[in-house]
């Protein structure tokens, strides 16, 4: 009985530590900053349905993403995926990836969930709202209407001085005053 209680307490503590205070979507915080970027995916179209394999109910793998118009002043690219329809935390953070070199204009699907991504020239991943590192797929409660998942891409004129595992709040704070372009792709998902 004691190991179950200890495991439950640890799980609750991890979840509490991963939750951040309510805030607007990242893209809303930087809507008037820098130029516009076009973000797309071969997995789903703008405002289209995200396939099951990219959801937490399915294979839980990240979709491919591509973007255009990274300014020459950019030193790194940041990707955040957020769900503003979740009840708590708001928004629910599904992915935090930062310090991707600006020479990248795309990410393949199935990015590993490791904190460091050597195959992407030192890009780092942060902690999502589930308390894990890397991509966490859509998992809206059964019975909810489709949730909106914002795949947000930012070009910034610095490399962020953050360790792997940073929260979205820490990344957003470090980005302030450094966004040179931004864009988003919104996908929809409803529990099967």
Mean pLDDT of 143-167: 98
Better pLDDT: 124 or 7: 124
Please determine, for residue 5, whether its predicted confidence score (pLDDT) is greater than 60.
no
pLDDT tens string 48-76: 999 999 999 999 999 999 999 899 999 99
Distance between CA atoms of 91 and 141, rounded to whole angstroms? 15
Q: How many domains does the chain contain in total?
A: 1
**CATH number of domain containing 16:** 3.90.280.10
Instruction: Please report how many Cα atoms fall inside a 13 Å half-sphere around the Cα of residue 85, on the Cβ side.
Output: 16
Q: State which residues form the domain around 9.
A: 2-189
Nearest alpha carbon to residue 179 among 28, 22, 41: 28
Please answer whether residues 89 and 129 qualify as being in contact, where contact means their C-beta atoms are separated by less than 8 angstroms. yes
Cis ω before 41 (30° cut-off from 0)? no
> 12: pLDDT confidence band, cut at 50, 70 and 90?
very low
pTM over 0.85? The answer is: yes
Please determine, for residue 2, whether its predicted confidence score (pLDDT) is greater than 70.
no
Distance of CA 7 to the CA centre of its chain: 27
Other CB atoms within 10 A of residue 130 CB: 17
């Amino acid at each position: 009985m004691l190991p179950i209680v200890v495991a439950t307490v640890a799980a609750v503590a991890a979840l509490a530590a991963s939750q951040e205070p309510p805030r607007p979507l990242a893209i809303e915080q930087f809507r008037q900053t820098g130029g516009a970027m076009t973000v797309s995916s071969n997995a789903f179209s703008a405002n289209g349905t995200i396939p099951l394999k990219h959801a937490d109910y399915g294979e839980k793998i990240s979709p491919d993403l591509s973007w255009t118009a990274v300014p020459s002043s950019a030193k790194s690219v940041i990707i955040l995926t957020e769900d503003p329809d979740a009840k708590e935390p708001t928004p629910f953070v599904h992915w935090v990836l930062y310090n991707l070199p600006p020479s990248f204009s795309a990410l393949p699907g199935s990015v590993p969930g490791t904190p460091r991504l050597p195959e992407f020239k030192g890009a780092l991943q942060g902690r999502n709202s589930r308390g894990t590192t890397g991509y966490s797929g859509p998992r809206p409660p059964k019975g909810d209407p489709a949730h909106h998942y914002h795949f947000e891409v930012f070009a910034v004129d610095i490399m962020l001085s953050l360790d792997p595992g940073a929260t979205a709040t820490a990344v957003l704070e470090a980005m302030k005053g450094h966004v040179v372009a931004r864009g988003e792709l919104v996908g929809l998902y409803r529990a099967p």
